[in-house]
Structure 1
Amino acid sequence: MWRMYIAVFIQPFTWSFYTASVFIGIAAAVLWTAQGNCLTINSDEHTIGRNSGIFWALLQSSLFFGNLYIYFAWQGKTQISDSENILGEDESSDDQDVEVNEPAQNNMTKAVDAFKKSLKLCVTKEMLLLSITTAYTGLELTFFSGVYGTCIGAVNTFGTEEKSLIGLSGIFIGIGEILGGSLFGLLSKNNRFGRNPVVLLGILVHFVAFYLIFLNMPADAPIAPLEGTDSSAYIKPSKEVAIFCSLLLGLGDSCFNTQLLSILGFLYSEDSAPAFAVFKFVQSICAAVAFFYSNYLLLHWQLLLMVIFGFFGTVSFFTVEWEAAAVVARGSDYRSI
């Protein structure tokens, strides 16, 4: 499916692009669920945080290398020709064929059972609370991967560098992601305070980034025409501030995602596939909703939505983490399925 999606960019058409996007989304959902399950199987309660951080750092390394090309290829350009259309980000891919040793009927039964467990899991207290946090990661995923780069490229004040700055922004988002994943992976084993401080750091970093973006970017940047916008922001748009915000967006995102992977692997260690399926479902739905409204809402309204979801998502994560810590302190196993 990934090869089909890449092939669409050779000669892009609207119908083929959207069709391929649907198929790659289906494939990504399966792959993410499998990755989360594999991560949980190969970790315990002491190593899940470390392994989640390492996994996230390696995953996001593609942001750095892919956008490095964009930065150099688009320098000095105000329009991107058809020959320069490329795919800028690779979240995940799998080129290896998996041998299926079990009968197809048995695999279908397992899939149906996992789907039923996912439905039951959706209405549990822990998953409902974590779904708020997951929803926030979907909104901010859309913002830093699609909306923010568009905003930077639409600001005419940046001059001929506006397009290449999109690539530079992606590089610094990747640096923030890799830095966060590596740092939290290395420190998780010695962290006596649980996951809450990392999530708190993530939301504070994001709030700072949102405030600076609010001051630095014109409100109509997300919905500006192809010619860009000459509107003024609260301060004169600064390239340095814009790139610094990219770093903060990546760092904050790594805080949330590494800790979500960690807590899901901890809470649902016995059968993690349904939990990660719900996680990816909620995140993807919210990302799709964010892509839809990003074409209509001014920048400050999009930032406000993320602030609201970020606040309540942080509180809900704290609640689940405190309950999990209390169970561990009593020396009993945590079971939700």
Structure 2
Amino acid sequence: MRLKFTCLKGDHIGIYNVILLGLGFCFTFAGFNTMGGIQTLVFESAKNPESGGFVEGYNGNGFWSLAISYLAFTFGNILAPSIVATIGPRATLVVSSLSYVFYILQLLVLNDGLLYFASVVLGLGSALYWTAQGNFLALNSTESTIARNSGIFWAMFASSGIIGNVIVYTQFRGKEFIDTNTRNIVGGVLIGLGGAATLVMLALAPPGGEPDGTDNQQEEKKGPIKALKDSGKLLLTRDMLLLAFTFFYTGLQLNIWSAVYNTCLGFTSNFGDERKGLAVISGIFIGLGEVLAGGAFGIFGQFLSIKRKTPIIILGFVCCITAYILIFINIPKESPFGETDIIEHVSFIEPNKYVAIVASFFLGFSDACFNTQILSLLGDVYKKDSTSAFAIYKFFQVAATCIAFWYSPVIHLHWQLLIATIFCTLGSISFIVVEVFNNNKLDAVKKEGQGSENPAYTSN
């Protein structure tokens, strides 16, 4: 079925697509984030004969599931440019959104083999989903609108974290187990959210709004082999090698705010009976920080007279370092390993829930600072090769998350924070250097009267 979009022209079609893209990702990850919030409880309940949700013979392991998913995600980014080049970003978004639905579907039919197979499908689908997202965002943006569009998308996407954590907090607070009926009801709701995301993706318009339903490709049409070769060539350019440090850091930061920090809060005995609920509230404040930064520096960036990306990256650096310092002094270093001992496992100050929540907000705010500016830079600088650029971005990000996922349960929290601080510093410097290089090149071209076309795409 082809939809007609003749009533939308120019920037209207771009903003229409960006809003739908953000809404689709919001629905997808509202369901997926909620799934992540209850997955451990679901699996443990399924193994307990007294839980009311017991499934005979089920031994699903969330740790292995995530490991398989991230591994598939990492390698999926190698193939993603070729697939997106073959079927186009719109079709890729529709098909890959179903991988999240399939993963949630296994809630209704708990089976070890299905869990791990769904994890592989999820990892591969995620690589396609995010690569197509970056490509489609770039195709619907110009140099003057890419920052705004990146902010709109990120704010809408990040709101999914708030929705997911609110669902978990209100529906599962105080529950020790999840019975079969509750699991099926929740699974049905989450599948509905995933299905709504797919329907939203079906309503995306071709960039430029051609009535014949063809994509207005501002990026050169490529075959799958050429797309793969071009990704390799792009990776070896000077700017992309520098940006790899930034991409890698966002993966380490993702691991901290999405898994490590909330786990540590839940294991810090000094917070008493509030610690499980505090972990969920922390997730809500991380989401609030994400949404606020996305709106401030994307949607309202033009009103704040923000012309360059460097000041936002510096602000993100300051916020994340502040968050790491607060976590360092407030949370026992043994907290990643399990329940802490109030007497033996101490932090530099008596653990304070308000300090913990402030750190959560800074984590989310700084994460959005980095990711919105990466989206904006790649969509602008690498507009003619955005599929490869975004695949490289997700490859390094997910590879870092995968590596961090393996070492997080076995090294002290303080060492994890130190690793993240080192890469935060390297990533911030690398990003600033790349932007300065490309801004100088663009200014030189404009002064020579050769037009305003962005030359950074050809950087070495």
Give the TM-score normalised by the residue count of structure 2.
0.66
C-alpha contact (below 8 Å) 1:156/1:229 kept by paired residues: yes
For 1:70 and 1:98, the matched residues in 2 are separated by: 29
In the alignment, structure 1 residue 297 sits paired with structure 2 residue 445:
no
What is residue 238 of structure 2 aligned with on the other side? Answer: 125
Distance in 2 between the 1:280 and 1:164 partners?
31
Partners of 2:301 and 2:202 in 1: CA distance:
32
- Any conservation in 1 of the 2:269–2:341 contact (CA below 8 Å)? yes
Aligned Cα root-mean-square deviation (Å): 2.6
Establish whether residue 334 from structure 1 lines up as the match of residue 449 from structure 2: no
Gaps of 5+ in 2: 1-98, 204-212, 215-220
Q: CA deviation at 1:69?
A: 1.9
3-state secondary structure, aligned to 1:145 = helix
Shift of 1:290: 0.8
Where does residue 162 of structure 1 map in the other structure? Answer: 275
1:181 maps to what in 2? 294
The number of aligned residues is: 327
Letter in 1 for 2:309: R
CA contact (8 A) 2:334 2:413 kept: yes
| Counterparts in 2 of 1:301 and 1:13: CA distance versus 1, 3 Å | farther
Matches within 5 A, 1:198-217: 198-217=312-331
Q: What amino acid maps onto 2:458 in structure 1?
A: S
Structure 1, residues 97-116: CA drift from partner, whole Å, max 9, x if none? Answer: 869x99xxxxx972322221
User: Cα deviations across residues 121-155 of structure 1 (Å, max 9, x unaligned)?
Assistant: 11111111111000000000011001111001101
Q: Percent identity?
A: 40
Counterpart of 2:198 in structure 1 is 95
Equivalent residue number for residue 37 of structure 1: 135
Q: 1:49 aligns with which of 147, 160, 170?
A: 147
2: CA distance between counterparts of 1:253 and 1:109? 33
* Aligned residue type for 1:334: A
Check the 8 A contact 2:100/2:194 in 1, yes or no.
Answer: no
Distance 1:82 1:301 in 2: 39
Instruction: Work out whether 1:171 is the aligned partner of 2:269.
Output: no
Report the CA distance between 1:13 and its aligned residue: 5.2
Contact 2:334 2:340 in 1 (8 A): no
- Report deviation, 1:186: 3.0
Tell me, what secondary structure is at the counterpart of 1:276? Answer: helix
Task: Report deviation, 1:19.
Answer: 3.0
The whole-number CA distance in structure 2 between the counterparts of 1:244 and 1:192 is 25
Which position in structure 1 is the counterpart of 2:427?
Answer: 313
Secondary structure of 1:60's partner? helix
Bigger radius of gyration among the two: 2
Comparing 248-257 with 183-192, greater Cα deviation is found at: 183-192
Letter paired with 1:165: L
Aligned to 1:277: 391
CA distance in 1, matches of 2:179, 2:230: 46
**What are the residue-to-residue correspondences of 1:72-83 with 2, within 5 Å?**
72-76=170-174, 79-81=176-178
The partner residue of 2:337 within 223, 233, 249 is 223
Which stretch has the larger CA shift, 313-322 or 192-201?
A: 192-201
Look up the match of 2:380: 266
Contact 2:149 2:299 in 1 (8 A): no
Structure 2 partner of 1:249: 363
Secondary structure class of the residue paired with 1:292: helix
How far apart are residue 196 of structure 1 and its match?
A: 0.3
1:58 to 125, 136, 156: 156
User: RCO higher in 1 or 2 (8 Å CA, sep ≥ 6)?
Assistant: 1
State the 1:5 CA deviation. Answer: 0.5
Shift of 1:289: 0.6
1:2 corresponds to which residue? 100
| Amino acid corresponding to residue 128 of structure 2 in structure 1 | V
TM-score in terms of structure 1 length: 0.89
* C-alpha distance after superposition, 1:5-47 (max 9, x if no partner): 0022345555543432221111111111111111111111111
Question: Are the equivalent residues in 2 in contact too, given 1:71–1:165 (CA < 8 A)?
Answer: no
Letter of the aligned partner of 2:321 in structure 1? Answer: F
Q: Is the 8 A contact 1:118 1:275 kept in 2?
A: yes
Give the residue type in structure 2 aligned to 1:288. C
Structure 1 residues 270 and 109: alpha-carbon distance in aligned structure 2, compared to 1, 3 A threshold: closer
Matched, 1:17 2:139: no
